[in-house]
Homo-oligomer: A and B are copies of this chain.
Amino acid sequence: MKIGVGQINTRVGDFEFNARKILETCNYFKIGGADFAVFPESAISGYPIKDLARYKAFVDKAQDALHKLAPMLPIPAIIGCPSRSDGPSGCRNSAYWIENGEVAASTDKHLLPNYGALNDARNFDPGEDFCAVRYRGYNIGLTICEDIWTLADDNTAKRYERFASPIEYFSSAEFSGENKLDILINISASVFSSSNDNPRHKGGLLCRVSEKIGVPVLWCNLIGGNDEVIFAGGSAYVDASKKGEEKCACLKKFEEDLKIIDTDTVSSYEGGAFDFRGDEDILSALVLSLRDFVDKCGIKRVLIGLSGGIDSALVAALAVLALGKERVIGVAMPSKISSRHSVDDARSLAENLGIEFHIVPISDVVEAFERTLSPIFAGRPRDVTEENIQSRARGAILMAISNKFGALVLTTGNKSECAVGYCTLYGDTCGGFAPICDLYKTEVYRISKLINAKAGRDIIPQNTIDKAPSAELRPNQKDEDSLPPYDIFDAILKQHIDAFKSADEISGHGGLAEEVARKVARAEYKRTQYPIGPKISAVAYATDRKMPVAAKLEIL
């Protein structure tokens, strides 16, 4: 069996773009001799469609696109597309077997994720029927994403009367003898996270599924960034049906890949090559998500306020990796308080990256604000207000340049500062995308050093890496005046945020954990207005930590 695996990067709502890409891929696979083609989950509509599912017209247009595409396909193909349902959601997440120019069979997603970034359970009604297709003598089982992530032991599968899960169905007596499956195919959109198990591992999910049902599994995973979520590709064919003779072939990670897998010739177990590669993978994920957000929004250029510090330096470096230097503009906005090195470091960075660079001093604006406010502030001491004015002057300048030049402002905040609200709303939080909002400060340093190491030269200036982090909003200010040293701070945050530990469950830091947890609680409102940014970790704020605001959160 020669299967064309079309690991493509789809666009949400762009039926025409997606259909064209599917058609071109099928033509390519036809030339390569593939028996049929497989595409990721919801390939016609893109994924996730969220509440677009509530628009019947959206679902109908997706179906139109599918049915218009079908007669053009030169080979059979498995294509995902939302469909109408008469259940409470009005929509299903479906997969179609297209053969001879028409829909020949279909199935719906049964197990609907409702955790982290995904809420299929909100938008789709669960499937009721299973589907296996006969083609050229092969018996091909068809499933969608989550359907294979539960073998037989999960509570969510209780509603199946006869089977504890779709996998149990496909391993039941119905598929014995001459009805035995030849392969189980899964079209998927699996959310990347640095903490995810690699399903391609020996002993990983795909192996367990293959072993359970006694036939090979082909997992066609989505590639691309869509708002907060990243799909990493790395599609795989895994055969663990014979103990000791496991086979595996994989597609590339973090890029589109079109590959014809000849199931008769897969011999080695390639899976290990696609293990999680730590910071390398995180870097690839960051670049992919930024590129896709900007391009899928149709934006030409991005704009970054360069402070001379590490966060904005990393964001600028990522932007150049994602978009090329011509599409990136850096702006330094020194105040009277800014140290000389901050502009120098910003300029060095811009030179290293080869990007357009401007210097726009903010003192005139800050002084005008202070004059304007002096009657109403009369007699009150200077405090954090004046620090925020500087940050908001910068935010407004960046937004003005953004408006005038049509460039998207990138927000440079990291996960550590965002945790405790060490940022100014409408100041440094301005922007349409926040590329590193799910990286702790210690990770910001690691990824920055990785970029320099891979380039073999200083992209991010050494001084930026070496100097003590500072917001430079008052003279001689250092982050560590307000925050614990970042290695300790991040260690506490990882337990409190990523592992949902309360302060009193975090040992070894005395009263510091409590103080950090209290600050995290008080900054909740800032996070509700934070720009979108990619989920990298197990617990990103926007997708995995949906918290009340008007609440007593200091108890955590």
Contact = CB atoms under 8 A, between A and B. Distances in A.
A545 B551 CA distance: 24
Instruction: Tell which of A56, A154, A400, A501 has the most Cβ of chain B within 10 Å.
Output: A400
Nearest to A521: B13
B376 A360 contact: yes
Interface in A17-60: 17, 46, 48-52, 54-58
A205 interface: no
Nearest to A87: B155
B373 A364 contact: no
A518 to B, nearest CB: 13
A417 to B, nearest CB: 18
A124 to B, nearest CB: 11
A135 interface: no
Interface residues of A, number: 96
Interface stretch (A181-189, A461-469, A528-536): A528-536
Contact of A155 (B88, B122, B364): B88
Contact of A549 (B155, B399, B532, B547): B532
A362 B385 CA distance: 18
Interface stretch (A274-282, A340-348, A390-398, A443-451): A390-398
A550 B389 contact: no
Interface stretch (A99-107, A290-298, A474-482): A290-298
Contacts of A525: 297, 432, 532
Contacts of A423: none
A224 to B, nearest CB: 10
Interface string A133-176: 00000000000000000000011101100000000000000000
A322 to B, nearest CB: 13
A58 B555 contact: yes
Interface string A533-556: 000000000001111111111011
A401 B500 CA distance: 36
Contacts of A393: 396
A50 B401 contact: no
A371 interface: yes
Contacts of A400: 369, 373, 385, 388-389, 392
Contacts of A364: 368, 371-372
Given A361-B372, A383-B403, A293 B550 contact: yes
A10 B91 CA distance: 36
A426 interface: yes
B373 A362 contact: no
A425 interface: yes
B11 A552 contact: yes
B15 A547 contact: no
Contacts of A552: 11-14, 17
A502 interface: yes
Contact of A403 (B292, B385, B546): B385
Interface string A471-508: 00000000000000000000000000000111011000
A515 interface: no
A312 interface: no
A365 interface: yes
Nearest to A90: B500
A342 to B, nearest CB: 18
Nearest to A550: B296
Contacts of A58: 502, 555-556
A505 B119 CA distance: 27
A55 B505 CA distance: 11
Contacts of A56: 500, 502
A1 interface: no
A61 interface: yes
Given A119-B119, A372-B360, A388-B403, A500 B551 contact: no
27 contacts: A12-B550, A13-B555, A14-B551, A51-B547, A52-B548, A57-B502, A88-B115, A88-B155, A158-B159, A226-B548, A297-B549, A360-B375, A361-B372, A364-B371, A365-B365, A365-B368, A369-B400, A373-B397, A373-B400, A373-B404, A377-B404, A385-B403, A388-B399, A396-B426, A399-B426, A426-B430, A532-B549
6 nearest A-B pairs in the assembled complex, by CB-CB distance? A57-B502, A368-B368, A12-B551, A296-B550, A385-B403, A13-B552
Interface of A: 11-15, 17, 46, 48-52, 54-58, 61, 87-88, 114-115, 119, 121-122, 125, 154-156, 158-159, 225-227, 292-293, 296-297, 358, 360-362, 364-365, 367-369, 371-373, 375-377, 380, 383-385, 388-389, 392-393, 395-397, 399-401, 403-404, 425-426, 430, 432, 500-502, 504-505, 525, 528-532, 544-553, 555-556
